[in-house]
Amino acid sequence: MSGRVLSAREADVAACLLDAVAGRGGELPPVSRTDARQAFDALLAGSPRLNRVALRGLLWGLELAALATPQRRRMRRLTAAERQAYLERAATSRAGPAVAGILALARLAYYGDLTAMGALGFDPAAVVARGRALRTREARW
């Protein structure tokens, strides 16, 4: 499956997750300057249908379960600090493994961006070049 999987509202909920997992301060780029949103959608698009449906359901579950918090607002309406605290609590709840899974996908989408990698000092082109040089030097493949 290719193309956009998430509806506009689901993409907004996913953007909240991405913002929550993105590094704060320092040299790390904001989510808006990365391809994290597209990468998250692509991860879902490449998932088996059952997984995709479950992940979309989990997005909605996280969005609506925030109504049961003292703030009584959807996750998208929480401040960054409230959202962070909410997700940390959700990760230790009964739904913790599922929440941890979707947060891991969000981290993969954000930290897999070349801008974010570069800000962390990781240069994928240099890693590939070192690997090629090693294979040549050791006469592999």
Structural domain count, the chain: 1
Per-residue pLDDT tens digits for 88-103: 999 999 999 999 999 9
Which residue type occupies 117? M
Q: Within 13 Å and on the Cβ side, how many CA atoms surround 102?
A: 30
Range 46-71 burial, b when 16+ CB lie within 10 A, else e: ebeeeebebbbebbebbbebbeeeeb
- Percent helix, strand, coil in the chain (nearest 5)? 70, 0, 30
Tell me whether residue 131 is in a domain.
no
Within 13 Å and on the Cβ side, how many CA atoms surround 41?
Answer: 17
Residue 3, pLDDT score: 57
User: Does residue 75 lie in a domain region?
Assistant: yes
The reply to whether 2 falls in a domain is no
49 in any annotated domain:
yes
Residues 46 and 32: their CA atoms lie apart, in Å, by 22
User: Does the residue 33 lie in any domain?
Assistant: yes
The reported pLDDT for the residue numbered 1 is 44
In a domain, 123, yes or no: no
Q: Is the pTM of this model over 0.95?
A: no
Residue 103: inside a domain? yes
Regions of the chain short of the pLDDT cut 70: 1-3, 25, 141
Structural domain boundaries, residue 85: 8-113
AA identity, residue 140 = R
Residue 30 lies in a domain: yes
